[in-house]
Chain A
């Protein structure tokens, strides 16, 4: 009997490692090794080499923390996060509530709003840059302006006022809203309907009162998840920014995400300073961890 249990156990262990093994190896090789290596590189003068020899201690950290361009990008993206996170949460929750309420063709509406999430960021960026918001009169945004008799704008090229944010923010919202909407729909469908029915019998209104006291508390878990994912995403902005504002030669000093700045520093075409780039990556990781912890604390479930 014991032998059979033992054999079954070792069989289970084998199956466990067969399934988990490839992922564990992948995670180790492509995530933990690079992170450790990056932390190692951040202590060296590592220009154009991943096997540096000149130890410089914390010099790269001092360098990057006194680097105006890097600090500017962290500052800009803290403001960006403060704007984009609430906007995304409110809009995707509103979409979820609307789509969840339609009784007719619900699957159709759900797919329609989710589809943009399946679109590549690069492709969407090019569409935004070249057909929606180019500076020429024939661009879609400028055509619409023309209907109202307004002059065409350069959009991406206009710095005063910073119209490029219109392009960047609309692209990001279009790409992301559907995904967060889906998370909210899933959470909405887990709120038991009998709670609403009981509340209505007790005289609660079907609108705001039900939303405030039943829907919102029921969504708490989803809200925290969406907020956290969104916050991390905001600091990790890269794709649409790089593809709309940048190119292989460079990126303007405004709306420059920390990752874009670090990309040019450590992997850019001019010269690869992996030491400073790694120091910046470590600093950015700490900033993201801190922001996530803070937001978790604010939204912690009251005990």
Chain B
């Protein structure tokens, strides 16, 4: 009979042995393609992508839905793992340098011209395409026309008008504008740069694009705006909660929230692009897109590429459904865009994207450069630091990072 002590030892050893069994890293053997998505917040997306996967005739496709910090998970997987074979992400120059992803130029064929050019450019490194854009995400300024009218404000066309509108709309328990609990640092940095005719990087990507006194001016405007921003909302900028619940009269958030917002406010919804600073700047909306990419460590790169081609190039009916049926996105292809969002605020947003859509996260703009810039913007806008000095420090880091990419 087992004594209690030896039973404990045996149980302990069994426990240890069990830890070593299921590593879940068998690679794409046996014709199975493993496909990762981040957890979309809109109802129905998960069912849809599982349905697409089941319909693929070329191989068995296993879809994994990844809640939480998906981007970090992808970064870690790409370093050592053969799984996933296919995943959605935005290409990073370092992935290309480390040969962690494979070029996908040969998948597009003559559909290349049908994809929105800026999207393809944003997924291109050293002339090669690494991701097939799945859908366009964009962000806009939502407002309630009735509230603006009551406050005697016209929809703002310039940054100063936006500051003035936010001030006048702040009354009672309602704040003028909500742009995230970090005071707009995360989501407004890019539109503010564009509003002054600047950008993260120069046109050729070889230098920072904000080495200009106007950068200090425009981030000083965010400081003014911060006096009337809603802070400490229960949900963040990417959720329509604050606007739907009437905590803020205007909110900067994703186009994807349009269905929930119109459900709450009916016809009393207006949309605007981010206004320009002055005549030298431009109205803009940021565009970004998760793109389908193939892991270079996949056990069967060709099978993975064939699946990506089938789903994101050939099956245009799925692409349209994916972009437009669950929350509002725009298809990544011009021929499909015509069928989506044909009226109301959605149609206006299509116009904003066409005339003022800008890439929000260029592949050559690194995480370190981005941290340096958003630290600077945060100190300027929220702590009242000297804009010129803060931006000089951010420029140094950005130059350093750009130089590193070409070493």
Which A residues fall within an 8 A CB radius of B? 18-19, 22, 47-50, 68-69, 130, 133-137, 139, 154-160, 247-250, 252-254, 264-265, 267-273
Residues in chain B near residue A267, CB distance under 8 A: 72, 75-76
Q: Knowing A22-B12, A47-B98, A48-B98 touch, does A272 contact B71 (C-beta < 8 A)?
A: no
B16 at the interface (CB under 8 A from A): yes
Contact A157 B231 (CB under 8 A): yes
28 A-B residue pairs with CB within 8 Å: A18-B12, A22-B12, A22-B16, A68-B393, A69-B371, A69-B375, A133-B232, A134-B232, A134-B233, A135-B233, A136-B234, A137-B173, A157-B183, A157-B231, A160-B382, A160-B384, A249-B186, A250-B371, A252-B182, A253-B378, A253-B379, A269-B72, A269-B75, A271-B75, A271-B368, A272-B72, A273-B367, A273-B368
Contact B186 A250 (CB under 8 A): yes
Q: How far is the CA of A264 from the CA of B375 in the complex (A)?
A: 13
Which of A47, A134, A248 contacts B94, CB < 8 Å?
A47
Closest 8 pairs between A and B when the two form their complex, measured CB to CB: A135-B232, A270-B367, A157-B231, A269-B71, A154-B231, A271-B367, A253-B375, A154-B232
Residues in chain A near residue B9, CB distance under 8 A: 18-19
Residues in chain B near residue A253, CB distance under 8 A: 375, 378-379
Interface of A is mostly: loop
B80 at the interface (CB under 8 A from A): yes
B64 at the interface (CB under 8 A from A): no
Which of B80, B186, B367 contacts A50, CB < 8 Å?
B80
Q: How far is the CB of B388 from chain A (nearest CB, A)?
A: 16
Residues in chain A near residue B68, CB distance under 8 A: 248
Residues in chain A near residue B368, CB distance under 8 A: 265, 270-271, 273
Residue of A nearest to B5 (CB): A15
Q: How far is the CA of A134 from the CA of B12 in the complex (A)?
A: 46
Q: Choose among B183, B236, B371 the residue with the greatest number of A CB atoms under 10 Å from its CB.
A: B371
Residues in chain A near residue B372, CB distance under 8 A: 69
Q: Knowing A136-B247, A250-B371, A253-B375 touch, does A271 contact B92 (C-beta < 8 A)?
A: yes
Contact B94 A48 (CB under 8 A): yes
Residue of A nearest to B361 (CB): A270
Contact A50 B79 (CB under 8 A): yes
Q: How far is the CA of A87 from the CA of B12 in the complex (A)?
A: 42
Q: How far is the CA of A139 from the CA of B234 in the complex (A)?
A: 9
Q: How far is the CA of A269 from the CA of B247 in the complex (A)?
A: 30
B370 at the interface (CB under 8 A from A): yes
Q: How far is the CB of A242 from chain B (nearest CB, A)?
A: 11
Interface of B is mostly: helix
Contact A130 B72 (CB under 8 A): no
How many residue-residue contacts, CB under 8 A, span A and B?
111
Which of B13, B94, B181, B393 contacts A157, CB < 8 Å?
B181
B366 at the interface (CB under 8 A from A): yes
Contact A49 B16 (CB under 8 A): no
Q: How far is the CA of A50 from the CA of B76 in the complex (A)?
A: 10
Q: How far is the CB of B303 from chain A (nearest CB, A)?
A: 24
Residues in chain B near residue A252, CB distance under 8 A: 182, 185, 378, 382
As a 0/1 sequence over residues 200 to 234 of chain B, the CB contacts with chain A under 8 angstroms (1 = contact) are 00000000000000000000000000000011111
Contact A158 B231 (CB under 8 A): yes
Residues in chain A near residue B382, CB distance under 8 A: 159-160, 252
Q: Choose among A247, A253, A272 the residue with the greatest number of B CB atoms under 10 Å from its CB.
A: A253
Q: How far is the CB of B379 from chain A (nearest CB, A)?
A: 6
Q: How far is the CB of A45 from chain B (nearest CB, A)?
A: 9
Residue of A nearest to B69 (CB): A248
B383 at the interface (CB under 8 A from A): yes
Which of A18, A19, A156, A160 contacts B383, CB < 8 Å?
A160
Q: How far is the CA of A267 from the CA of B74 in the complex (A)?
A: 11
Q: How far is the CB of A250 from chain B (nearest CB, A)?
A: 6
Given contacts A158-B231, A270-B71, A272-B72, 18 further A-B contacts (CB under 8 A): A18-B9, A18-B12, A48-B75, A48-B78, A50-B79, A134-B234, A135-B181, A135-B231, A136-B247, A160-B384, A248-B71, A267-B76, A268-B72, A268-B367, A269-B71, A270-B367, A270-B371, A273-B367
